Amino acid sequence: MIHGTIVVAKDICKACELCITACPQECLELSPHLNEKGYRYAQLKNDTCTGCINCAIVCPDSAITVYRESKKKNAS
């Protein structure tokens, strides 16, 4: 199972919500806080991100960076 996480460049986000709609894990939401442009920015709301990158692909402002890590198995 791949675990992923994202980082949103919050001051670039303009709250279009395309990433929220595109996320198959439903793990994105708009923050209750405002960025420097006065928009509620996208953020992760739980730990179910799989790193599928759908959100990064649909973001018109390239505000999302996705990171993935596989869960390592012990060799011993």
| Member of 1, 3, 13, 38 binding ligand SF4 (CB under 6 A) | 13
Cβ atoms of 54 and 42 within 8 Å: the answer is no
**Least distance (Å) from ligand SF4 to the CB of residue 60?**
6
- Report how far residue 59's alpha carbon sits from residue 54's, in angstroms, rounded to the nearest whole number: 9
Cβ atoms of 37 and 63 within 8 Å: the answer is no
Verify binding: residue 35, ligand SF4, rule CB under 6 A: no
Q: Summarize as ranges the residues that interact with ligand SF4 (CB under 6 A).
A: 4, 6, 8, 13-19, 22-23, 25, 27-28, 42, 49-55, 58-59, 61, 63-64, 66
